[in-house]
Amino acid sequence: MAWRLHLVPEKTNIDFFRWQWITFGGSMMLMVLAFIAWGVMGLNFGIDFKGGTTIRTESTQAVDVGAFRQALEKLPLGDITITEVFDPSFRADQHVAQIRISALDKTESVTPETIEQVEVALKAVDPGITFPSIESVGPKVSGELVWSSVLAVAATSIGIMLYIWLRFEWQMALGGVLALLHDVFITIGIFALFQIKFDLTIVAALLTILGYSINDTVVVFDRLRENLRKYKTMPLRDVMNLSVNETLSRTVMTSLTTLIAVGSMLVFGGDVIRGFSFAIFMGVLLGTYSSVYVAKNIVLMIGLDRSEKPKGGKGNEFAHIDA
């Protein structure tokens, strides 16, 4: 018989409701603290939301990010992000970089005089460098991006809630979405507390968190629905405990393998994707926790209708669909 790795025993009997007021209450307290940190300290918006200028450079010499950054540190600039651009269509001697500079105030993007100083500093590093394009993002566009990001997260949450409502029950839809918002709000609160740069890549990470977190929650809810049909007289709390225990091995294995991959990106990925990797890492941890300790607690508090529904009646007509 082949040897198999078991991170948790095949059969567990953990009472996940034993400390429910501590675990669930702690989650609610963390959400409140996240809102306080968000409201008091605010977010450290990046160029996407604060306004600034993106300069595209091109040269026959290889891009030296360290030399570029050292040359620009002497100038009175805001936050600077330097990334090398790769494309299969580039020539062998075509080396392209993208330099993003945030504005120093809220009314203007980077001034033409400052851009000229940047060009002079970069030419001192590489005399053959050229600047094929320079684009500026003003405060008006940045404000629109903020609202677009909020709408993207809200629309995704509503879409997920409608899917779970059709697939399961409205109580599960509400519990699942509140668990998702728990993950997103606490992650944003952490970014506000430590003043980690918040830009569009973090919004992409938040949307990824929504998709990942609901995946675990749906697995638990699917097993819960099966067990509700199997154990019709068992108390709802016991059925939920059984369902989480039966899916615990899958939850731990999935979360651990994801954390290993994302942790590698966080440690070795460099400064460019560190914020994105950190958001995903925190989202996986919070998503796993909320699937076990938040979503089902909300469903238990609301309650489920366990009465027999007549076939073809007012029951959930979408429940039989394997999707």
Model confidence over 186-207: pLDDT tens digits? 999 999 998 888 888 888 888 8
Q: What is the pLDDT of residue 150?
A: 82
Q: Say if residue 251's pLDDT is above 50.
A: yes
Provide the residue ranges of all domains of the chain, joining segments of one domain with +.
Answer: 20-43+142-302, 52-137
Q: Say if CB 82 and CB 67 are below 8 A apart.
A: no
Domain 52-137 is in which class?
Answer: alpha beta
How far is residue 287 from each of residues 107, 142, 244, 260, measured CA to CA in Å?
38, 29, 14, 15
Residue 321 has pLDDT above 60, yes or no: no
Q: For residues 214-237, give the mean pLDDT.
A: 85
pLDDT reported for residue 148? 81
Q: Which residues make Cβ contacts (< 8 Å) with residue 313, sequence separation at least 6?
A: none
Domain 20-43+142-302 falls in which CATH fold? Answer: Multidrug efflux transporter AcrB transmembrane fold (1.20.1640)
- What's the pLDDT score for residue 33? 92
Contact 289, 244 (CB under 8 A): no
How high is the pLDDT of residue 260? 92
Residue 133 pLDDT class (50, 70, 90 cuts): confident
* Burial (Cβ within 10 Å: 0-12, 13-18, ≥19) of residue 260: exposed
Those residues with Cβ within 8 angstroms of residue 253's Cβ, 6 or more apart along the chain or in another chain: 7
**Per-residue confidence (pLDDT) for residue 66, from 0 to 100:** 85
Residue 197 β-bridge partners:
44
Q: How does strand 44-45 pair with strand 197-198?
A: parallel
Angle, helices 200-230/170-193, rounded to nearest 10 degrees: 150
Asked whether 17 and 293 are in contact (CB, 8 A), the reply is: no
Average pLDDT value for residue range 116-141:
81
State mean pLDDT over 265-288.
Answer: 86
Cα–Cα distance for residue pair 248/53, rounded to 1 Å: 48
Please report which confidence band the pLDDT of residue 142 belongs to, taking 50, 70 and 90 as the band edges.
low
Residue 96, pLDDT > 50, answer yes
Q: pLDDT higher for 242 or 85? A: 242
Q: What is the pLDDT of residue 189?
A: 92
Give dist(CA 174, CA 151) in Å, integer.
19
Mean pLDDT (whole number) for 124-146: 76
**Most confidently modeled of 9-13, 144-148, 161-165, 284-288?**
284-288
Q: How far is residue 240's CA from residue 299's CA, in Å, rounded to a whole number?
A: 10
| pTM score | 0.74
DSSP code for 240: H
pLDDT bucket at 278, cuts 50 / 70 / 90: very high
pLDDT value, residue 7: 63
Name which residue leads in pLDDT, 133 or 313: 133
Q: Which of 85-99, 120-134, 273-287 has the lowest mean pLDDT?
A: 85-99
Interatomic CA distance for residues 288 and 10, integer angstroms: 19
d(CA 27, CA 25): 5
pLDDT-derived band at 221, boundaries 50, 70, 90: confident
